Each structure stands twice: as C-alpha cells, then as structure tokens.
Amino acid sequence: MIKSINDSTVLANGVHMPWLGLGVFKTQEGEEVENSVRYALEAGYRHIDTAAIYRNEEGVGRAVQASGIAREELFITTKVWNTEQGYETTLAAFEESRQKLGLEYVDLYLIHWAVKEKYKETWRALEKLYKDGLVRAIGVSNFQVHHLQDLMATANVKPMVNQVEYHPYLTQKELLAFCKQEGIQFEAWSPIMRGRVNDEPVIVQLAEKYGKTPAQIVLRWDLQHGVVTIPKSVRRERVIENAQLFDFELSAEDMATLDGLNREQRFGSDPDNFSF
C-alpha cells in the first residue's frame, strides 16, 4: 500500500519516481506556474511534470530553484513536442528544454505523441541522452500497445514510462496490462477527467462514503492500480487537497465499481488519430 507522498515506484532501471506529482498543462508561464509549483513543493510534492509545448518550463525552473530543495530530492519530467521529433531536432529540443528549466539533467524525458515515421528516430535521440547521463530515465506518452511493440522491436533501451489519458471513463485495461507485463510504468494524465469527476454520481457517492472529495477518490484509485498520477491545479487549497490520499484505502468492491464506469471516453486526443 502506498502510504505517503514520499513513496515512489522503482522504474526498470532502478530510478525512483514519486507516485504523485503536479501537472502543469495549461498553467500559464510566469506567476501562475511559479505559484502552482511552489504550492506543490511546500505541500510535500517532489515530482513536477511539464512539457515543451506547455511553454512554462522557465517558470517551473524558477520555482524549483527558488524552493531551495536539493536537486536529488526532485523528479522533473518534460517532453519533446511533435514538430521537433527526429534525431537531431530532438537533441536540440532537449537542450532548449534543459536550459529553460535551468537544470543539469532531467529526471524523465518523454516522446509526447507517437508521430508516424518519426518516433523511432526520436527514441534513438532519447537513448543517446540517457547514455550521456543528461536524463535519468526515458519514456513515451500517448503510446498504444502497437506503438510500443513497434518501438521495442528496434530499441536498445525499453521505454521506462508510458504516460497516457487514464481515468474511470477510460480504464485502458489492455494497455495497462501490457505495460505491467513489460515493466513499463503506467502514468495517468487528466486523472480527474478535467473536473468531470464531480459530475459522476458513483464517484460522488464514494466521496461521501469515505469523507473525501471526488478527485481524491479517483486519485486514490489510480494509486491502488499502481498508476503514477499527476493532477493539475493552480489553487493552493486544491494542490494540498490532491495530496491528501494516504489516510484511506478503497475497498476491492469500490475499486471494481470505479473500474465498471469505463466507457472508452476520451477528453483528450486519440493517439491513433491526431493531426498536430
């Protein structure tokens, strides 16, 4: 059982990755992202997830440096965007992200989406960054089973993480099982369904039962499935609330009830059909 915000999963290469992190998708560069990261670090978070396309890496970096927390205690993720995919362009994109973050190394670097004809060359660049010690772990985001199989057929290093849309309306059981079988850590983006957890009667009922918020119920469900989760908020009270997950446990029956909400519904793009 995951008992503390300090608990972490161990990736295939032995790197420790905190189970809970702060996501900063659509958090504005400048004061908003700096405050959000500061709230999280003050609340005990040590895992921050950004991306080049979020255009807030500089603010994340400033907040991290202002925190005074030792670098080795932090876990920072960023991602290469689709237009920069390819071998040389990925290497250049990584260096730009690293400079913006103001870091000597990044803990986890991900391919943001599986761009056809490009993700294998992109992965080769990630392998070089990993070999050179500029990243502690490498992985992918929004990869389906067939993408992973295709990538692993020629990869020298297996992806250590797959970050995908995951919540009770999109349980991705086949993909989750495949990743567990292959030793690839599953990670959830949009875990609270962009706020729609408050509109689902079953989740609201469970929140009342456990004396928790609907978001806390779903985030705990993630953790009990062995899924790293990165909820996003810019409000101090919500950032703190999202971390209050370690004083209760969902029963097996209630876990199954949440699993049963699956309707294959995405709030983000389809990894097999996107045009950006």
The beta-strand segments (E) located in 115-262 are 135-141, 161-165, 185-189, 228-229
Locate 161 and state its tokens.
């993480």
Tell me 139's DSSP state. E
Q: In 3D, which of 87, 100, 88, 21 has the Cα closest to residue 60?
A: 100
Contacts of 42 (CB under 8 A, 6+ apart): none
The beta-strand segments (E) located in the chain are 8-10, 16-18, 22-23, 47-49, 75-80, 106-111, 135-141, 161-165, 185-189, 228-229
Give the HSE-up count for residue 273: Cα atoms under 13 Å, Cβ half-sphere. Answer: 2
The catalytic residue positions are 54
Q: In 3D, which of 191, 199, 198 has the Cα closest to residue 221?
A: 191
Residue 156 identity (one-letter amino acid): N
- Residue 154 CA to residue 201 CA, distance in Å, equals 46
